[in-house]
Amino acid sequence: MSNLSVDRNAMPAIAARGLSKGFGEGAARVKAVDGVDFTARFGEMVYLVGPSGSGKTTLLSMLSGILRPDAGTVAINGQDIWSLDGERLAQVRLAHFGFVFQDYHLFTRLTCAENVAIPLILRHRPWNDALAAARQCLAVVGLEGRADLIPAKLSGGEQQRVAIARAIVGSPSLLILDEPTASLDGDTGKMVIAFVRQQILTAQCCVLIVTHDARIEMFADRVVHMEDGRVIERDRTMP
């Protein structure tokens, strides 16, 4: 397990400086993110918004230790995660990040409880303990009666809540959501994000969300606008 400690009062959750990332070679090379600075605090929900191709998902991937930047730093509680080797970086992701993706990424042949237990199994928790914790998280997201079902038996909103339970089962300090409502109808999408805001932020988790969905902007603390790989507007604090 990573020895990176997280003090949720002393420093920002994430502090990035000069992040850049390009793809392609020569004349065909495209700079997806161009010298971006970004800071987020524990206990707040921050949205990254902008048109397709603006660099939102690339930026999120660098902030969360998935995609190595060409230049710049990403610090969690003062520790530059991109100075770590691959094994230690993987440990940081497992120990401190929870991920919720647009398409859920649930294992179709596993029950909901088994899906949620996976991060704990990767941390070498005993199987029965991991399943018990998974069931508790499913109860938190209102799915205590669905624990033994496979994902195909659930609605889209329920599957997304299983994905959220899986993301929070390890008590992450940073929760990353990439287009979490894109596959949901408006009411279900609002319900899912309202749940994240009500339940997850009470634990002083930092929540970063990439979205095109203007219907859920009401739940953000701050909205960061991107275009052509750059932040084009200072962070806007939501009323």
Q: DSSP for the chain? A: -------TTTS-SEEEEEEEEEESSGGG-EEEEEEEEEEE-TT-EEEEE-STTSSHHHHHHHHTTSS--SEEEEEETTEEGGGS-HHHHHHHHHHHEEEEETT----TTS-HHHHHHHHHHHTT--HHHHHHHHHHHHHHTT-GGGTTS-GGGS-HHHHHHHHHHHHHTT--SEEEEESTTTTS-HHHHHHHHHHIIIIIGGGT-EEEEE---GGGGGG-SEEEEEETTEEEEEEEEP-
Average pLDDT over residues 193-222: 85
Check residue 3 and give its pLDDT. Answer: 45
Contact status, residue 100 vs residue 180, Cβ threshold 8 Å:
yes
What's the pLDDT score for residue 6?
Answer: 53
Domain extents for the chain? Answer: 14-237
Q: Is the pLDDT of residue 147 over 80?
A: yes
pLDDT at 1: 39
Cβ-count burial 147-168 (b if 16+ within 10 Å, e if not)? beebbeebeebbbbbbbbbbbb
Model confidence at 2, pLDDT cuts 50, 70, 90, reads: very low
**Amino acid in the structure at residue 89:** L
Q: Decide: 216 and 189 in contact? Cβ < 8 Å.
A: yes
* Residue range 96-117: mean pLDDT, rounded: 91
Q: Is the dihedral of CA 15, 48, 24, 85 positive or negative?
A: positive
Mean pLDDT of the 116-124 span: 94
Q: Is the separation of the CB atoms in 14 and 206 below 8 Å?
A: yes
| Predicted pLDDT of residue 65 | 93
Residue with tokens 């800071």: 39
* Cα–Cα distance, 161 to 190 (Å, whole number): 12
Q: What is the pLDDT of residues 63-73, one digit of tens each?
A: 999 999 999 99
Q: What percent of the chain has pLDDT over 70?
A: 92
What are the pLDDT digits (tens) for 154-181? 998 899 889 989 988 988 889 999 888 8
Mean pLDDT of the chain: 88
Q: Is the pLDDT of residue 225 over 50?
A: yes
pLDDT of residue 230: 94
| CATH 3.40.50.300 matches 14-237 | yes
* Average of per-residue pLDDT across 177-189: 83
pTM of the model: 0.84
Which residue did the predictor score with more confidence, 214 or 47? Answer: 47
